[in-house]
Amino acid sequence: MKGSGKRRSDIVLEVQAKVAEAARRHGLFPGPGEPLVVGVSGGADSLCLLHVLRDLQPQWGYQLHVGHLHHGLRGEAAAEDAAFVEATCQAWGIPVTVEQVDVAKVAREARLSVEEAGRHARYAFLGALAAGLGGRVVAVAHNADDQVETVLMHWLRGAGLAGLRGMLPKVELEDLRLEGVWDRLWPRAEHITLVRPLLTVTRAEVEAYCRQTGLSPRFDLSNLDTTYFRNRLRHELLPFLATYNPRIREVLRRSAEVIADDYAYLRGETLRAWAEVVQEESPQRVTLDLRRFLALHPSLQRGLLREAIRRLRRGLRNVNWVHVERALWGAREGPTGTQITLARGLVLTKGYDVLWVAEEGAPLPSPWEEGPLLERPVALPREGEVVLPGTGWRVRVRTSEVPEPADLPSAAQEDRWRALLDADALRGPLVLRPRRPGDRFCPSGMGGASVLVREFMINVKLPRQVRDRWPLLSCGEEIAWVVGWRVDERFLVTPTTRRVVEVSLRREADEPLQGERGVAACRDG
């Protein structure tokens, strides 16, 4: 019997030491005298957690309070679970609150699985209970094997780093909030932290702890029902994977820990980029600086888009890889005015120099109306810079010798507001002017075919209200460039070009172009 006592002491001390270490490392417990609400179903995991927290209470000084939610799903068995939890808490001298909710009804109304509806109902209940007690921490009993199943489930569903890190030991309950479900149940669950003290304790250790301490937890037969996705992972897929690697659970747990660290670093970089790129944030829309956004690494671009959605919708539910990748394409490749439908009633819109992530139908500044719209012609120098009156834009013209002209066209394509033209082909005066009836040009890439500027504008979907004010760069009577769109074939830089005229437009409020020295007086070239 002494050996048996030693084994009991070993497993009890080991599990309690793991919980205490996790609490110290992650700051899981509230301060002395503060409430610590524990979600207890009556099963092995939650009963083990409550026993451990009861034993650690003198050392940490928190005040335990148990919350039990009757889901109304398992008939008499559910009522027996509630009675068991109440009796256990009474025997241990721990206050308990029991509530009941029709989870099946919640699932139907919110179009959720019963599992998901039950989880959100529990979190809402426990958060509201903590808030009502003046507390700020809720503890739940997810263990290390639950973590493995979560990581594998997320991987099978195509999660990114955020999902592959699995469950976190500590998270703001608000980040898990599902609007509509929580609001109908217990809407007060705000400023509450959810903690998982058993996340480093395996299911086998939990069961051994219960045996060695004489605990007799309730057993939920639905845990054996393989019609549930998680149960199929637990009882079928993981044992199969273990035939390839007996240490598969340890491997997945370790991978989740590494990914969590990587994600935390990337998250910090994303928030730093957010501070630099976001121009405006409101409950209806987020405005991002397009040039700064496009200069970022793709990983940070994805992070910013997800962060914008998260802030506007208080979470990332139903936001998947397709939504983010389509938004990235729109931001990088789409023309001005591109709109990409995102999840949950949000739309990404590309302006001239901004991206908007906003509620569908929300009023946005027109990207076209913010362009360099002209009321009258503006003469340009061959060398120098002028302000376009009443537009908030300025234009610079620069002529230079080109040692390797064949390399220039690709460089010009990087900026729609910059055109590189063959100086020797520009034989007349340069004028930036609005469209005139009958204007024609030969768009590059069309083999020299001449088209009406009006038809070209219609084809590129330039709105009717701005067509008559849209700037055209003319050289004498010929159109050399439909600004922002296409250079005339006759003025393109070619391998035989020796001098290049660079024409670039910028908003006056924008940062100066590289090498710019401020607004210079116009001078003839």
> Mind listing the pLDDT tens digit for each residue in 384-417?
999 998 888 999 999 998 755 445 544 444 577 8
Is residue 256 within 8 A of residue 164, CB to CB? The reply is yes
What is the structure's pLDDT at 23? 97
What is the structure's pLDDT at 183? 64
CA–CA separation, 62 and 209 (whole Å): 22
For residue range 474-500, what is the model confidence (pLDDT) as tens digits? 999 999 999 988 999 999 999 899 999
Per cent of the chain over pLDDT 90 is: 60
For residue range 218-228, what is the model confidence (pLDDT) as tens digits? 987 777 777 78
Task: Say if residue 349 is exposed, middle or buried (CB neighbours under 10 Å; 0-12, 13-18, 19+).
Answer: buried
Least confident among 38-42, 70-74, 127-131: 70-74
More confident residue, 507 or 273: 273
Mean pLDDT, rounded, for 51-61? 97
What is the structure's pLDDT at 184? 65
Does the pLDDT of residue 367 top 70, yes or no?
no
Q: Is-same-fold flag (2-242; 378-507)?
A: no
Q: Binning pLDDT at 50, 70 and 90, where does residue 187 land?
A: low
CATH architecture of 250-359: 2-Layer Sandwich (3.30)
CA–CA separation, 372 and 393 (whole Å): 6
What is the structure's pLDDT at 513? 43
**What pTM was estimated for this model as a whole?**
0.70
Mean pLDDT, rounded, for 458-470? 84
What is the structure's pLDDT at 175? 77
Does the pLDDT of residue 454 top 80, yes or no?
yes
Mean pLDDT, rounded, for 72-81? 84
What is the structure's pLDDT at 404? 56
Domain ranges of the chain: 2-242, 250-359, 378-507
Mean pLDDT, rounded, for 282-311? 93
Note the helical H segments in 27-143. Answer: 44-60, 76-92, 103-110, 114-132
Concatenate the DSSP letters of all residues of 304-329 into one string: HHHHHHHHHHTS-TT--HHHHHHHHH
- The one-letter code for the residue type at 215 is L
How far apart are the two ends of the chain, measured CA to CA in Å? 103
Concatenate the DSSP letters of all residues of 95-120 into one string: -EEEEE--HHHHHHHHT--HHHHHHH
What is the structure's pLDDT at 181? 63
Does the pLDDT of residue 521 top 70, yes or no?
no
Mean pLDDT, rounded, for 196-209? 96
Does the pLDDT of residue 6 top 70, yes or no?
no
Does the pLDDT of residue 523 top 90, yes or no?
no
SS3 percent helix, strand, coil of the chain, rounded to 5, is 45, 20, 35
Q: Binning pLDDT at 50, 70 and 90, where does residue 361 land?
A: confident
Say whether domain 2-242 belongs to CATH 3.40.50.620: yes
Does the pLDDT of residue 463 top 90, yes or no?
no
What is the structure's pLDDT at 76? 85
- If we measure between CA atoms, which residue out of 68, 44, 315, 317 comes closest to residue 171? 315
What is the structure's pLDDT at 198? 98
- If we measure between CA atoms, which residue out of 350, 354, 356, 326 comes closest to residue 338? 350
Q: How far, in Å, are 21, 46, 54, 154, 337 from residue 171 at the CA level?
A: 18, 18, 22, 18, 38
What is the structure's pLDDT at 464? 80
What is the structure's pLDDT at 492? 93
What is the structure's pLDDT at 233? 92
Mean pLDDT, rounded, for 265-276? 96
Task: Say if residue 509 is exposed, middle or buried (CB neighbours under 10 Å; 0-12, 13-18, 19+).
Answer: exposed
Q: Of the segments 108-117, 130-139, 381-390, which one has the largest average pLDDT value?
A: 130-139
Mean pLDDT, rounded, for 81-88? 96
How many of the other CB atoms lie within 10 Å of CB of 92?
Answer: 13
Mean pLDDT, rounded, for 246-252? 95
395: tokens are 């234009």
What CATH fold (topology level) applies to the domain 378-507? Phenylalanyl-tRNA Synthetase; Chain B, domain 3 (3.50.40)
Per cent of the chain over pLDDT 70 is: 89
Instruction: Find where tokens 């009675």 sit.
Output: 83
What is the structure's pLDDT at 409? 47
Q: Binning pLDDT at 50, 70 and 90, where does residue 41 land?
A: very high
Concatenate the DSSP letters of all residues of 420-446 into one string: EEEGGG--S-EEEE---TT-EE-BTTS
What is the structure's pLDDT at 355? 93
Does the pLDDT of residue 269 top 90, yes or no?
yes
- If we measure between CA atoms, which residue out of 266, 136, 150 comes closest to residue 195? 136
What is the structure's pLDDT at 221? 73
How do beta strands 137-139 and 193-195 pair?
parallel
Does the pLDDT of residue 139 top 70, yes or no?
yes
What is the structure's pLDDT at 392? 86
3-class SS of residue 365: coil
DSSP annotation of 472 reads: E
What is the structure's pLDDT at 319? 74
Does the pLDDT of residue 200 top 60, yes or no?
yes
More confident residue, 407 or 262: 262
More confident residue, 159 or 478: 478
What is the structure's pLDDT at 446? 86
